[in-house]
Amino acid sequence: MITEKMEKAFNDQINKEFFSEYLYLAMQAYFERLNLTGFTNWMTVQVQEEHAHAMGMYNYVHERGGRVELMAIDKPQTEWKSPVDVFRHVLEHEQFVTSRINALMDVAEEEKDRAALSFLDWYLKEQVEEENTVGSVLAKLELIGDDKHALLLLDKDLEARTFTAPVIG
């Protein structure tokens, strides 16, 4: 059985995960407007991943006998100056999500909820991977600078990214 404090913390994080999905959907729309199909694809995969992350927590709360309480999702930013600006925002957001997962783990430690800690370990590892992946794309964008040809080559590379449903927990 999940404690009230743990349930509330998970519900807060579920909201943040759905916000992440919404934010990346806004970024997907931004790249669609720029006709950068590879970047659009990259964000499409992010949208799918964030949805899976939210649903993993949603299902976990139910499995533990808790109650999921869905809250309003904040409106995301919808305009950026450039692709590099978008990826700076993505990295900043992923670092925020990492801090939120760490805070959720802190609650699990306080509540001595070993099942939650075990479950959240996957999310922590996922965040390390997310920050690394985003950091790699950002580094390439910063290296590219104003070179439109190089931007189009990177766009072509990003078309290859595919979504694989994660096995969470």
Q: Which pLDDT score is estimated for 132?
A: 98
CB atoms within 10 A of CB 169: 15
CA 8 to CA 13: how far, in whole Å?
Answer: 9
Contact 58/16 with Cβ under 8 angstroms? no
pLDDT in tens, 87-135: 999 999 999 999 999 999 999 999 999 999 999 999 999 999 999 999 9
E strands, 17-127, are: none
Sign of CA pseudo-dihedral 96, 130, 88, 143: positive
Q: Which residues of the chain have pLDDT under 70?
A: none
Residue type, 133: T
Domain 4-71+80-158 has CATH 1.20.1260.10: yes
The structural domains of the chain, with segments of one domain joined by +, span 4-71+80-158
